Amino acid sequence: MGCGRVGAQLAGMLSREGHDVTVMDVDQSAFRRLAPDFRGRELLGNGIDQDHLRMAGIEEADAFVAVTQGDNRNVMAAQIAKHIFKVARVVCRIYDPKREELYHTLGLETISPTILGAQALKEALERVEV
C-alpha cells in the first residue's frame, strides 16, 4: 500500500524474487515509479478502505506492507490487515518515533525511517576520516 519511492522499490524487489505482488495507490501517476520489469498488479485504491483491500486480494495475502506518506493511514491500514483480515505478516512505516514506539509495543511490526535514517547518518559521520 503506497507506491511512493520506497513502495515502488520494495514492490520491484519482491516481484524480482518471484513473489506475487499487488501495489495500491490512490494516485494513478504513482505507478510510473515502478521498474519496467515489475510483474505484479497495480491497483488504484485506498488501503484504509476494506472493500479496496478485498479487491487487492487481502483475504489471500501472506503479507501486507503500509508505506504511504501518512503515518496514521499506515497505522490504520496495518491494523485492519492484522486484526480484521488476519494477515500473517504486517509491516508498517511510521515516521514519528514516538508513535512508532507506541504501536510497536502494541504488537505491530513497525519501521521508523526517522530513527533508522538518523542512525545511518550518524554512523556514516563517524566513519568519515578527518
Partner 1 sequence: MYIIVIGGGKVGYYLTKELVEAGHEVLVMEKTNSKVEAINEELGEVAMQGDGCEVAVMEQAGVGRADMVIAVTGDDEDNLVTCQVAKLRFNVPRTIARINNPKNEAIFKALGIDATVSSTTAILAHIEEELPTHPLIHLLTLRGGGLELVEMKIPQNASVVGKKLKEVLLPQESLVCFVYDAEGIPRLPNPETVLHAGDEVVAVTRQEYEPALRTALSA
Point out which residues bind partner 1 (CB under 8 A).
Answer: 48-51, 70-73, 75-76, 79-80, 83-84, 96, 98-99, 102, 106
Q: How far is the CB of 27 from partner 1 (least distance, A)?
A: 17
Residues making up the chain, counted from first to last: 130
Minimum CB distance to partner 1, residue 100 (Å): 10
42 or 96, CB closer to partner 1?
96
Q: Which value, to the nearest 10 degrees, does the dihedral of the CA atoms of residues 99, 44, 15, 35 take?
A: -100
**Residue 83: phi, psi to the nearest 5?**
-90, -30
Least gap, CB of 36 to partner 1 (angstroms): 33
Grid cell for residue 53: 483491500
